[in-house]
Amino acid sequence: MVLDIEKFKRQIRYCNLPNGACADMALQSHGRYEDVTEFDFMGPMGIFVENFGLPVVINECLLQSYTGILRLFPNWPVNRSAEFYSLRAVGAFLVSSRCEAGRVTFLNILSEKGTSCRLYHPYQGASVAVYEQHGETRTLVRLFSEGEILGFDTRPGGVYTVERL
């Protein structure tokens, strides 16, 4: 399922508080009321729950890693460009990436603990190389594959660039 960006924007506008924060005040077990419903309609009833988890929705569209395998832009509309920097991923990785026209154009991974990094092939079947950055120099890293999953070993503090060949 792909994020409906226009619906998501309406949800954000709907949940904006006067101080600029967002709250999911009208989401409930039987579904949300209409966009035109006042954001604080439940306030007089004593039911007012703030939820600042909206960035999680966007993060999950850009990067998923809960299985231990990095998946880039899994729910992002292919006609929309996007980029992110230093999103935390399972395995003690900080991931930065960019996509344009539905294709990954940049992928950089910082390994905090030196674990093995596994990711779904970001370049749709093209050949890939992984380089470890050492200041201005780069070292080619041995890459292994398990079907559509690529992997490579990392060292603590290592910075890795995954490139399409």
Domains detected in the chain: 1-52 (no CATH), 62-165 (2.60.40.1180)
Rounded CA Rg of the chain: 20
Q: What is the pLDDT of residue 28?
A: 46
Q: What is the pLDDT of residue 56?
A: 77
Angle between helices 5-15 and 54-62 (to 10 degrees): 160
Q: What is the pLDDT of residue 108?
A: 97
73 backbone dihedrals φ, ψ, rounded to 5°: 50, 50
Query: Residues 62-108: pLDDT tens digits?
Result: 999 989 999 999 988 888 999 999 999 999 999 999 999 989 999 99
Query: Residues 33-54: pLDDT tens digits?
Result: 555 666 555 555 544 444 556 6
d(CA 74, CA 91): 19
Q: What is the pLDDT of residue 82?
A: 94
Q: Which pTM does this prediction carry?
A: 0.70
Mean pLDDT score, 101-129: 93
